[in-house]
Amino acid sequence: MSIALRDRNQLLQCFMPFLKHGGLFIPTDKPFELGDDVFLLLTLMDEPTRYPVTGKVVWLTPKTAIGGRPAGIGVQFAGMEAPTVLKKIETYLAGILTSDRTTYTL
């Protein structure tokens, strides 16, 4: 699955810092189950690099979610690339990670 998060606000909306090794919420209508393995090709901001990330589905938001949240899945990072991707995301979100903004998950 390919995902591009091209601005800080979008990245903040999708980031799941409360997960061990970090994770992302991926808006999608495709059916997934908790525990499914997922492979992502992640593009951050304007970087030309696409980061390969493996993970597991740990969050499901159905199409009928309350509060106008989009349908999708939360993917917890796993594998050797997880620390690199997590550090990249935290660097981009430095200074706004502790904001009171609502996200797609919490």
Cβ–Cβ under 8 Å, residues 11 and 44: yes
Going along the chain, which residue ranges are E strands?
A: 2-5, 23-27, 37-44, 50-61, 72-78
Q: Per residue in 42-58, pLDDT tens?
A: 999 999 999 999 999 99
Question: Would you say residue 19 has pLDDT above 80?
Answer: yes
Strand order, beta sheet including 2-5: 2-5, 37-44, 50-61, 72-78, 23-27
User: What span, in angstroms and rounded, lies between the C-alpha atoms of 29 and 22?
Assistant: 22
Question: What pLDDT score does 100 carry?
Answer: 64
Residue with the bigger pLDDT between 84 and 104: it is 84
Domains along the sequence of the chain with CATH: 2-92 (2.40.10.220)
Q: Per residue in 75-100, pLDDT tens?
A: 999 989 999 999 999 999 988 766 66
pTM score: 0.87
